[in-house]
Structure 1
């Protein structure tokens, strides 16, 4: 829900609820209700203002539970780390190898240790 996303991003940014209220000019009580998912239908103007103050985009605030919430900084750090180990944008084959490994690793986790023993 949007409230959970607001809370997570606010904390990632090191802001208190009072600071977010002050910067966004949205009442602290309204923000508190949003974060506790007591109000799950804020206006688009409120969401846009929060996205601006939290330095994120609307899509990030509106993500649903099943989606992974990754901050812009975390994504940038990840991309910089890939570049540091030699992966460049023009060499997509190397990215594909990394992603294939991640998929394989995740499928192994899902199988569990007993399934792997039987292989």
Structure 2
């Protein structure tokens, strides 16, 4: 899932810092999610990230 977030973030030409600021989460937390340190981040956090990246949550979860 972390790799998917990073892929979508890069596709939007956003840095981790920019995505973190736009989504209201800390850069360190986002970095840890992308690196796979958090295997199951809270679904609300993932929904916020998906909304910020303008992708469906199920795409981040690899369900599509």
TM-score by length of 1: 0.52
Mapped to 1, the partners of 2:37 and 2:43 lie a distance apart of 17
CA RMSD of the aligned region, Å?
1.2
Structure 1: runs of 5+ lacking an equivalent:
68-119
Deviation at 1:15, TM superposition (A): 0.3
Q: Which residue of 2 aligns with 1:41?
A: 40
Alignment of 1:15-94 (within 5 A): 15-63=14-62
- Please give the secondary structure, in 2, of the residue aligned with 1:41: coil
Number of aligned pairs? Answer: 64
Q: Which runs of 4+ in 1 moved over 2 A?
A: none
Q: Which has the higher helix share?
A: 1
Greater mean alpha carbon deviation, residues 55-64 or residues 11-20: 55-64
Mapped to 2, the partners of 1:36 and 1:49 lie a distance apart of 18
> RCO (CA 8 Å, sep 6+): is it higher in 1 or 2?
2
Q: Which residue of 1 aligns with 2:10?
A: 11
- Structure number with larger C-alpha Rg: 1
